Amino acid sequence: MVGLATAFGSGAMTNSIDDIADDAQAFFVIGTNTTENHPVIGMRIRQAVRQRGAKLIVADPRKIDLTNFAVLHLRHKPGTDIALVNGLMHIILANGWEDKEFIKNRTEGFDDFKAVVDEYTPERVSEITGVPLEELQQAAEILAQNKPTAVLWAMGITQHTTGVGNVMSLANLQMMLGNMGVPGGGTNPLRGQNNVQGACDLGGLPNVYPGYQKVTSPEIRSDYARAWGLSDEQLSLEVGLTATEMMPLALEGKLKAIYILGEDPLMSEPDTNHIRQAMETCDLVVLQEIFPSETAPYADVLLSGASFAEKDGTFTNTERRVQLVHKAVESPGIARPDWWIVSELAKKILKEGKRQIGEAAYSGWDYQNAAEILEEIAALTPIYAGVSMQRLENGETLQWPVKDQDHPGTPILHVGQFARGLGQFTPVEHIPPVEMPDENYPMILSTGRVLYHWHGGQMTRRSKGLLEIYPEALIEVSEDDAERMGLNGSRRVRVSSRRGTIEAQAMVTDRVPPGMVYANFHFPEASANELTIAALDPVAKIPEYKVCAVKVEAV
Ligand SMILES: Nc1nc2c(c(=O)[nH]1)N[C@H]1C(S)=C(S)[C@@H](COP(=O)(O)OP(=O)(O)OC[C@H]3O[C@@H](n4cnc5c(=O)[nH]c(N)nc54)[C@H](O)[C@@H]3O)O[C@H]1N2
Ligand SMILES: Nc1nc2c(c(=O)[nH]1)N[C@H]1C(S)=C(S)[C@@H](COP(=O)(O)OP(=O)(O)OC[C@H]3O[C@@H](n4cnc5c(=O)[nH]c(N)nc54)[C@H](O)[C@@H]3O)O[C@H]1N2
Ligand SMILES: [Mo]
């Protein structure tokens, strides 16, 4: 999936799970259903609240489990986070509660930023967000009185057309409060997939080489060209495409072939109908998987990857920690580690395509094992420079940046100084979601996960125990709306958007506010993505999975 750069460069937690859990005086949990999606971190937050009296503020349109532990639940309207955070900062500034020393010594751009925040009066913010004035005041007070506060977020913040703006707002807040570079503070995007942090760190994004080094820089390009035995011109200076940009191009016939590794776009990309068409329009679809997924019927070639338990290597977790994995079981049949399949494919393409390419580049694909790959990573990735198999085998668990073999790693980023020098305040304005409810589609659909399943469900729907607990898609509907629709008896609902329709069992609950339903994308027979809109954040190109307009009827 698409990564999201923060105002500080890379999308990564600035702090570690331990220091947040042990030292935060308050937690601002905004747009993460932490106990269901990051259960270890969720448990540590609950313990901090119960055992040492840390204060918890949850900002989430839904009544998630953590709200039971919170001193305050800000139940704002979906897609109004920028207004909410600007409003809190307005109150902090109006009372002189900002960290003046930090702002003066460590940041820049404060005046332009303040001019925008000045416009977000509590009255205006309460109007946009639906949060009562007293609660805005109370939240600002808690943030001002409890230092440090750790801010934690996930997809409730990023999966909007204003995803980047949302993240910048939270960075503004933490700089204003002086909560950066200290234990128990920081800006902490909780990363989702097992190794999504590692994939982003190592260049699995269209705009950067490993270590977040820009592909548009001729100097950086030269470094890589030299290391890989290529001439400069053989590496492009242009930013590539995100998955979400590839789909419309495939529909237009401009993207002809697609190689998909470990993703199930038929389940996970927005607006499934347009994904079906895109897959059908592609001349060639290659799918590297461990199971025949929902995308498999569209593939011309299936390549069998080995699962996490069947291979050696490293995974980098949400707190930037590089963790060693060893093969525990043999792969079945012809399944091979993903790196092996990729390198064999690369060698065949180079050979049969008769590309004008040096011998060095060709033999560069002759990796023998994961350790050799890690050596190349260390040599070409400054933030991983000191990571080696030997150190990991010796039991070190390193958090990047690890600058050299003697460097101990970096549990907290931006101590004393930001990576870019001074922290940049960025003025951010509220912009509503692209598709808002109207007469024909009067309700808001929000989408996400449940504890018992994983995305498209290829793995979790093969687990008997999990299916016993959570056997089918459930759609959360508020009690008010259920009554209005006459939802009793069968309790099945039909949810339609401009793009598709699903039918599923309703779960009548106070977790969602009236006017909003919540659906997951774990079951192909009723996947939320039949309904979602493929509107993207202009910078990060992340889709607006968290808001679209729907009609809900009893069946
Ligand atoms: N069990 C399980 N765990 C998982 C996964 C899984 O599939 N299953 N997936 C993993 C992955 S890849 C990821 S990215 C993470 C995702 O972790 P989360 O982001 O915690 O997951 P979501 O279910 O998308 O929940 C987002 C939260 O944001 C709230 N929200 C919706 N709209 C808004 C809004 O406008 N503003 C705010 N402030 N909040 C909003 C929702 O109500 C919900 O509580 O989970 C990871 N962990
Ligand atoms: N509506 C809606 N849609 C969303 C989201 C949302 O909140 N709402 N969240 C988005 C987010 S944050 C994410 S991360 C995506 C996730 O979207 P995907 O990554 O498409 O979802 P997964 O189901 O995790 O797909 C991973 C696939 O990889 C396969 N696999 C597992 N291990 C291996 C391996 O070692 N090698 C190979 N080759 N394959 C393997 C699995 O069988 C599975 O089919 O969904 C996105 N889509
Ligand atoms: Mo994710």
State the CATH class of domain 241-399.
Answer: alpha beta
Q: Is the pLDDT score of 2 beyond 50? A: no
Q: Is 268 in the pocket of ligand 2 (CB under 6 A)?
A: yes
* % of residues, the chain, pLDDT over 70: 97
User: Once rounded to an integer, what is the mean pLDDT over residues 328-354?
Assistant: 90
Q: What does the pLDDT read at residue 11?
A: 83
420 confidence band (pLDDT: 50, 70, 90): confident
- Among 33, 76, 459, the mutation site with the greatest number of ligand 1 atoms within 8 A of its Cβ is 33
271: which DSSP letter? S
Among 27, 32, 455, 545, the mutation site with the greatest number of ligand 1 atoms within 8 A of its Cβ is 32
Does ligand 2 have an atom closer than 6 angstroms to the CB of 262? yes
The residue whose CB lies within 8 Å of the most ligand 2 atoms, and thus the one to mutate among 155, 289, 517, 548, is 289
Ligand 2 atom, smallest distance to 264 CA: 20
CATH architecture of 443-554: Beta Barrel (2.40)
CB of residue 44 inside a 6 A radius of ligand 2: no
Q: Write out pLDDT tens, residues 504-553.
A: 999 999 999 999 999 999 999 999 999 999 999 999 999 999 999 999 99
pLDDT beyond 70 at 353: no
Residue 500 confidence (pLDDT) = 98
- pLDDT the model gives residue 3: 37
Closest C-alpha to 2, from 193, 258, 175: 193
Kindly tell me if the per-residue pLDDT of 363 is higher than 90. Answer: no
To test the ligand 2 pocket, which listed residue (4, 62, 295, 455) has its Cβ within 8 A of the most ligand atoms?
A: 455
Give the pLDDT confidence score for residue 350 in this predicted structure: 81
The CB of 512 under 6 Å from ligand 2? The reply is no
Please report the pLDDT score of residue 355 as a whole number: 59
Backbone phi, psi, residue 419, to 5°: -55, -35
Q: Which atom of ligand 1 lies closest to the CA of 38?
A: 47
Q: Is 263 in the pocket of ligand 2 (CB under 6 A)?
A: yes
pLDDT, average across residues 50-65: 98
Average pLDDT over residues 153-182: 98
pLDDT tens readout for residues 271-330:
999 999 999 999 999 999 999 999 999 999 999 999 999 999 999 999 999 999 999 999
**DSSP assignment of 44-55:** HHHHHHHHH--E
Q: Locate the ligand 1 atom nearest the alpha carbon of residue 547 and give its number.
A: 32
Q: What's the chain's average pLDDT?
A: 95
Residues 205, 8: Cα–Cα separation, whole Å:
17
pLDDT at 358: 66
Ligand of minimum distance to the alpha carbon of 41: 1
Give the mean pLDDT of 171-196.
96
pLDDT of residue 6: 40
Asked if the bond preceding 148 is cis, omega within 30° of 0, the reply is: yes
User: Distance between CA 283 and CA 426 in Å, rounded?
Assistant: 43
pLDDT digits (tens, 9 = 90+) for 6-37: 434 458 999 999 999 999 999 999 999 999 99
Ligand 1: which of 2, 27, 37, 463 to mutate, most ligand atoms within 8 Å of CB?
Answer: 37
CATH of 17-189, one of 3.40.718.10, 3.30.420.280, 1.10.3720.10, 3.40.228.10: 3.40.228.10
Question: Where are the alpha helices (H) located in 161-282, listed in sequence order?
Answer: 163-176, 196-201, 218-227, 243-251, 265-268, 272-281
In this structure, the number of other CB atoms found within 10 A of the CB of residue 254 comes to 10
Percent of the chain with pLDDT over 90: 92
Position 8 scores a pLDDT of 42
C-alpha of residue 424 to centroid of ligand 1, in Å: 27
Cis peptide before 401 (omega within 30 of 0): yes
Whether 321 and 399 have beta carbons less than 8 Å apart is answered as yes
Do 329 and 314 meet the contact criterion of CB atoms below 8 Å apart? no
Q: What is the tens place of the pLDDT at every residue in 115-153?
A: 999 999 999 999 999 999 999 999 999 999 999 999 999
**Ranges of CATH 3.40.228.10 domains, the chain:** 17-189
Tell how far the Cα of 34 is from the centroid of ligand 1, in angstroms: 8
Contacts made by residues 392-399, CB under 8 angstroms, sequence distance 24+: 392/314, 392/322, 392/323, 392/324, 393/324, 397/321, 397/322, 397/323, 398/321, 398/322, 399/16, 399/319, 399/320, 399/321, 399/322
Q: Is ligand 2 within 6 A of the CB of residue 528? A: yes
Q: Where in the chain is the domain with CATH 2.40.40.20?
A: 443-554
Among all ligands shown, which has an atom nearest to the Cα of 302? 2
The Cα 527–Cα 272 span in angstroms is: 9
User: What are the pocket residues of ligand 1 if the criterion is a CB atom closer than 6 Å to any ligand atom?
Assistant: 30-33, 36-37, 59-62, 64, 78-79, 81, 154-157, 192-193, 446, 448-449, 451, 453-455, 546
Sheet order of strands, 284-289 included: 257-261, 284-289, 301-304
- Ligand 1 closest atom vs CA 34: 20
Q: Where in the chain is the domain with CATH 3.40.50.740?
A: 241-399
Ligand nearest to the CA of 154: 1
Q: Is 315 exposed, middle or buried (0-12, 13-18, 19+ CB in 10 A)?
A: middle
